[in-house]
Amino acid sequence: MTSTLKKNKKRCDSCANENVEIKRRYKNETYCANCYRIWFIKKPCSKCGEINRLHKKEDFAICSGCRMNQPCTRCGGAAVKDGANTEYGRVCQTCYQGYFKDKKKCFECGEFKRNISSYSRLSHDQAVCTNCFQGHFMQSCSLCGRYRELVDSEQGKICQKCHEFGEIPCESCNKPMPAGMGKKCNECYWNQRLEHETEVNIYLLSSEIMRQAYTQFTKWFAAEKGSMTATLKHNNFINFFTRCDEIWSKIPSYESLVKEFKPNGLRENLTVLRWLIKTKQIIVNPKIKEQIAEQERIINLLAKFNDNEPTCIKNYHSFLSQKLLKRKTSLKSVRLALQPATGLYIEYNVTDLNTPTQEQVNSYLLLKHGQYSSLYGFICFLNKEYNLNLTCEKPTKNEIFKANRKEVEKQIIDLFNQKKLLSKTDKLKWLQLSMMYFHCVHISLSSLKTLKSKQVDQRNMIILIYDRKEYWLPSPIQSN
């Protein structure tokens, strides 16, 4: 790499002179003939001891011959024949193409990749990535499933191996398989890979009981879902076994599992839970599961305050907890009672020792009128504990419709500005929203299908007959 170089770069990086012949490229830098004599002096190679021109600033410089014989810096493999020199040292061609080569833009897909080359087989001379090139000539073989160049045969398009050798015996199970698969059939490949990965993972477990449990689980998983699915997904559940190993050194009772993992955590490990149930290692108790789920929901509700829980909410929670201890209420009722209380405080940013105002209570009920019964208990608690005179009255339908007027207006505008023609369902939606916006009357879409209407062409209006009354509505004509 010292003398016969392509003259594709005319600038010397050392002296910055333009249009000079490059004598040497070294670690991504170029040297003209004059700079080469200055920077590369004759001295012994730090590895073989032979005298060579080496960079004078490097204390442990090695000659090109020794550099060529170095193993790959990344993988440690041979890098003599097809290797490449990089700023990190000698690398093999595989590592160079995959990790060290500069990224370029693919002409076809437009992505920046390292495996960009020009191919004479393509109809153009632009550089493309390997994936785009293979897409022109390769498909999946119908017999072995491998992605290769196919040939026409009596069995359709298949790869060259399947065409030449047909079926061969699997070296593990001796069953016939398409030759294109290689040495092992798919089932043997995935089974052996699962066994190997299981052996590696059991070193994460210190208890012999948990090691046996994990091995039994992977075998059951393979029998239930197939060895391929088990191999690809069994690592998702290793954390379950490691936590059990750290805490109990065995599979504990269902109650202990729910307390530790919580219902959401067990939901992420449903496959393991199904295995434990089918093998009768645990017995599911729905009451315990529901109880802990409610406790977790209460914790999540109070966590919304970010450790700044208002005093009123703390006192209300304590009041409900006392009722729970006296068995005058259930845990689910406690959660349902706390939900509108926390919602009211968060919605209007009521903090510290402050209590909500009557206007805030009324506004919240307009937004969440379905929580009226649960909120009523909280308002009674506030009135009693803080000598307030708040009322909790369920809003009427007209009040709810008026509160939602802006949202209804937005939906009408969205339908009006639709570029495509309104469908039958959209037209019914238009009538439903118009009745809510202009007359504060809510009609279901199914009821609208049976109602009679009259078109008033001169005014672009529709007369809808509902409950023996006539309602004038704008016709669903879209903007241009």
Q: Where do the structural domains in the chain lie, given as residue ranges?
A: 1-69, 104-138, 141-184, 188-284, 290-395, 401-474
Look at residue 243 and tell me whether its pLDDT is greater than 90. yes
Look at residue 119 and tell me whether its pLDDT is greater than 50. yes
Look at residue 460 and tell me whether its pLDDT is greater than 90. no
Span 262-271, mean pLDDT?
83
Find out whether 56 and 74 touch, Cβ atoms under 8 Å.
no
In 20-155, the DSSP E strands lie at 22-26, 29-32, 40-44, 51-55, 84-86, 89-91, 104-105, 112-113, 116-117, 128-129, 138-140, 147-153
Closest CA to 74 of 109, 106, 110, 99: 99
Look at residue 127 and tell me whether its pLDDT is greater than 80. yes
In 230-308, the DSSP E strands lie at none
Q: How far apart are CA 157 and CA 141, in angstroms?
A: 7
pLDDT attached to residue 221: 94
Question: Hey, what are 192's tokens?
Answer: 């052996």
Residue where the block lists tokens 């059939």: 185
More confident of the two residues 112 and 29: 112
pLDDT attached to residue 219: 94
For the beta carbon of residue 376, count every other beta carbon within 10 angstroms.
17
| pLDDT tens string 251-262 | 999 889 988 888
| Residue 110 backbone zone (phi > 0: left; psi -120 to 50: alpha; other: beta) | left
Closest CA to 431 of 416, 450, 452, 445: 445
Q: What percent of the chain has pLDDT over 90?
A: 23
Look at residue 56 and tell me whether its pLDDT is greater than 50. yes
Look at residue 8 and tell me whether its pLDDT is greater than 80. no
| H/E element, 463 | strand 461-466
Least confident of 48-62, 106-120, 241-255: 48-62
| Residue 433 backbone zone (phi > 0: left; psi -120 to 50: alpha; other: beta) | alpha
Q: How large is the angle between the packed helices 238-247 and 254-268, nearest 10 degrees?
A: 150
Span 136-142, mean pLDDT?
88
| pLDDT tens string 403-446 | 777 778 888 888 888 878 888 888 888 888 888 888 878 788 88
More confident of the two residues 231 and 5: 231
* Confidence tier at 272 by pLDDT (50, 70, 90): very high
pLDDT attached to residue 477: 63
Span 226-241, mean pLDDT?
93
Contacts 24+ apart (CB under 8 A), 279-288: 279/216, 279/220, 281/251, 282/251, 282/253, 282/254, 282/257, 283/254, 284/254, 285/254, 285/255, 288/254, 288/255, 288/258
Look at residue 1 and tell me whether its pLDDT is greater than 50. no
Residue ranges in 387-459 assigned as alpha helix (H): 397-403, 405-416, 424-439, 445-448
* Confidence tier at 380 by pLDDT (50, 70, 90): very high
Please tell me the pTM assigned to this model.
0.51
More confident of the two residues 331 and 216: 216
Closest CA to 211 of 242, 234, 239: 242
Write the CB contacts of 275 (distance below 8 Å, at least 6 apart in sequence): 217, 220, 221
* Confidence tier at 235 by pLDDT (50, 70, 90): very high
Helix, strand, or coil (residue 58): coil
Mean pLDDT, the chain, whole residue set = 85
Q: What percent of the chain has pLDDT over 70?
A: 96
For the chain, what is the largest distance between any 2 Cα atoms, rounded to a whole number of angstroms?
110
Look at residue 59 and tell me whether its pLDDT is greater than 80. no
pLDDT attached to residue 2: 40
172 CB burial (10 A radius; 0-12, 13-18, 19+): middle
As beta bridge partners, residue 150 has 159
Look at residue 69 and tell me whether its pLDDT is greater than 70. yes
Count of CA atoms in the C-beta half-sphere (13 A) of 459: 9
* Confidence tier at 458 by pLDDT (50, 70, 90): low
Span 440-462, mean pLDDT?
81
| pLDDT tens string 178-204 | 988 888 888 899 999 999 999 999 999
More confident of the two residues 198 and 397: 198
pLDDT attached to residue 7: 44
Question: Hey, what are 371's tokens?
Answer: 């929580």
Look at residue 395 and tell me whether its pLDDT is greater than 70. yes
Find out whether 241 and 213 touch, Cβ atoms under 8 Å.
yes
Q: How large is the angle between the packed helices 286-303 and 331-347, nearest 10 degrees?
A: 20
Q: How far apart are CA 126 and CA 159, in angstroms?
A: 28
